[in-house]
């Protein structure tokens, strides 16, 4: 009796053990399937973008405070080795009045990056948008003089770039100072900076101040639509002037707010050839490829509604075009690796892109929402989908 009881117990024990083994192997298999389902055959899912490109250039992403916590932060640490604050270092947000600096968010981003050994690009020191309006008014509300404006710009740059000296390895010193029109004689944007300084001197000055603030930081001029032939030539003129003036410029940030058919391979190569022929480096600073295209002009005699296209979202057709555009761009970019020192995506995943609230970015570049400022239409422009999973475009970018 004793014996048969012991035998039954042993038998039961073995059954439980076998059952546990079966369950465990199921769990393992399901987990493995979940992980490998992200991958294409032959590609290691444990690697991030930064690892695939470790012999090329840092791979970066624009971040906000929201990206520093939770799921996005894990993704950032896994995939990227460079960050750019999306808004928190711009003049308006960081320096809202003469004696007030908002360091909180910028410091938090810098601390996050430093603690994860991630490089930091600073963005930006002088721009016509998100500006610090107080800068343009004199002590009694009158328009500021050129001298006072440059003095304020200097103080701003010495203070901001000085605070992060040694931590920010590259700065967008001047952002978007070139005119968008097809008029080739209009090289410079008629911004407050340009108008008050009565010319483009503020650009040279900003570079000199940034160099004084942090002599080791790499200094970039940053702009969009830099592959469009007319704008490309205007940017080239500006760069030649900066070099002739001995401004301490290291390179050009091509924002890379692109579309499914823009730029063409030829335009991309030409832009790279022209900038690098001046001895300058290139960073692609704000990459995204919207799936949205401007609507065709209405056929005459019909109303715009009659020709409007229904919004079908991220269809297999646009997906294929986006994959092809990303692949084309990265094939070329890798060929120019000796000149390219950073690629940064503008936002983390398709869950939320700055283009979504601007009609999906129909107008291209930073002018993205000019005709559709408050229209919400998703752009699906990045390498991670709305669930933060790697898209097929991701695999096209790392498959080389
Ligand atoms: C955008 C941010 O992504 C938005 O959150 C903000 O509302 C407007 O600015 N060119 C630039 C970036 O240089 O600073 C812009 O960022 C996008 C276009």
Tell me, in angstroms, the distance from the centre of ligand 1 to residue 28's CA: 43
Name which residue sits closest to atom 16 of ligand 1, judged by CA: 86
Tell me the per-residue pLDDT of 76-89, one tens digit each, with 9 for 90 and over. Answer: 999 999 999 999 99
Active-site residue, 79 included: no
* Residue of 60, 64, 86 to mutate, ligand 1, most atoms within 8 A of C-beta: 86
* Residue of 172, 226, 286, 355 to mutate, ligand 1, most atoms within 8 A of C-beta: 286
Residue 285 contacts residue 221 (beta carbons within 8 Å): no
CA–CA separation, 376 vs 356, rounded Å?
6
**Which residues make beta-bridge pairs with 390?**
384
pLDDT, one tens digit for every residue, the chain (400 residues): 444 454 555 546 555 555 554 444 444 433 333 333 344 444 567 899 999 999 999 999 999 999 998 899 999 999 999 999 999 999 999 999 999 999 999 999 999 999 999 999 999 999 999 999 999 999 899 999 999 999 999 999 999 999 999 999 999 999 999 999 999 999 999 999 999 999 999 999 999 999 999 999 999 999 999 999 999 999 999 999 999 999 999 999 999 999 999 999 999 999 999 999 999 999 999 999 999 987 666 666 665 555 455 678 999 999 999 999 999 999 999 999 999 999 999 999 999 999 999 989 887 667 788 877 878 899 999 999 999 999 999 999 999 9
Q: Which spans in the chain are helix H?
A: 2-36, 49-52, 70-79, 91-94, 104-115, 146-163, 192-197, 201-213, 229-244, 265-277, 304-307, 316-335, 392-398
CA–CA separation, 384 vs 349, rounded Å?
5
Tell me, in angstroms, the distance from the centre of ligand 1 to residue 135's CA: 20
Residue tagged active-site, from 79, 86, 227, 286: 286
Token digits of residue 386:
């709305």
| Closest to 156 in 3D by CA, of 198, 200, 99 | 99
Tell me, in angstroms, the distance from the centre of ligand 1 to residue 218's CA: 21
Active-site residue, 267 included: no
- Secondary structure E strands in 290-373: 340-345
Question: Which atom of ligand 1 is least distant from the CA of 64?
Answer: 5
CA–CA separation, 241 vs 221, rounded Å?
12
CA dihedral 35, 36, 39, 42 (to 10 degrees): 140
Residue tagged active-site, from 86, 176, 227, 274: 176
CA–CA separation, 269 vs 226, rounded Å?
11
Q: Could you please report the per-residue DSSP string of 95-149?
A: --BTTB---HHHHHHHHHHHHTT-EEEEEEEE-SSS--GGGGB-TTSSBPPHHHH
Record the pTM: 0.88
CA–CA separation, 85 vs 156, rounded Å?
17
| Closest to 263 in 3D by CA, of 289, 297, 238 | 289
Q: Over the Cα atoms of the chain, what is R_g?
A: 26
- Residues with C-beta less than 6 Å from any ligand 1 atom: 86-87, 175, 255, 286, 354, 366
**Which residues make beta-bridge pairs with 258?**
289
Tell me, in angstroms, the distance from the centre of ligand 1 to residue 378's CA: 16
Tell me, in angstroms, the distance from the centre of ligand 1 to residue 258's CA: 14
- Phi and psi at 78, nearest 5°, equal -75, -40
């Amino acid at each position: 009796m004793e014996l048969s009881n012991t035998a039954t117990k042993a038998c039961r024990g073995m059954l439980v053990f076998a059952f546990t083994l079966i369950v465990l192997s199921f769990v393992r298999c399901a987990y493995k399937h979940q992980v490998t389902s992200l991958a294409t055959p032959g590609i290691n899912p444990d690697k991030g973008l930064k690892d695939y490109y470790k012999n090329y250039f840092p791979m970066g992403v624009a971040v906000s405070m929201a990206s520093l916590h939770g799921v996005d932060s894990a993704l950032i640490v896994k995939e990227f080795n460079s960050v750019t604050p999306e808004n928190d270092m711009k003049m308006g947000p960081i320096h809202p009045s003469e004696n007030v600096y908002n360091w909180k968010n910028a410091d938090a981003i810098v601390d996050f990056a430093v603690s994860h050994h991630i490089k930091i690009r600073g963005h930006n020191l002088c721009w016509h948008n998100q500006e610090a309006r107080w800068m343009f008014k004199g002590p009694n509300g009158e328009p500021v003089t050129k001298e006072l404006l440059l003095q304020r710009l200097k103080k701003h740059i010495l203070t901001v770039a000085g605070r992060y000296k040694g931590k920010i390895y590259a700065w967008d010193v001047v952002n978007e100072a070139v005119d968008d029109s097809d008029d080739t004689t209009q090289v410079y944007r008629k911004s407050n900076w340009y108008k008050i300084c009565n010319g483009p001197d503020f650009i040279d000055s900003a570079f000199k101040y940034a160099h004084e603030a942090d002599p080791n930081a790499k200094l970039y001029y940053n702009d969009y639509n830099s592959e469009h032939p007319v704008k490309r030539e205007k940017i080239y003129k500006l760069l030649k002037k900066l070099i002739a003036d001995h401004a301490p410029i290291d390179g050009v940030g091509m924002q890379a707010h692109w579309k499914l058919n823009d730029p063409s391979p030829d335009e991309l190569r030409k832009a790279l050839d022209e900038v690098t022929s001046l001895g300058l480096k290139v960073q692609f600073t704000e990459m995204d490829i919207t799936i949205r295209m401007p609507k065709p002009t209405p056929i005459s005699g019909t109303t715009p509604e009659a020709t409007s296209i229904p919004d079908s979202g991220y269809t297999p057709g646009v997906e294929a075009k986006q994959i092809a555009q990303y692949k084309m761009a990265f094939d070329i970019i890798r060929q120019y690796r000796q000149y390219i020192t950073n690629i940064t995506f503008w936002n983390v995943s398709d869950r939320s892109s700055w283009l979504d609230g601007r009609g999906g970015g129909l107008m291209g570049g930073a002018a993205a929402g000019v005709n559709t400022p408050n229209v919400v239409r998703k752009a699906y422009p990045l390498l991670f989908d709305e669930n933060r999973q790697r898209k097929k475009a991701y695999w096209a970018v790392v498959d080389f």
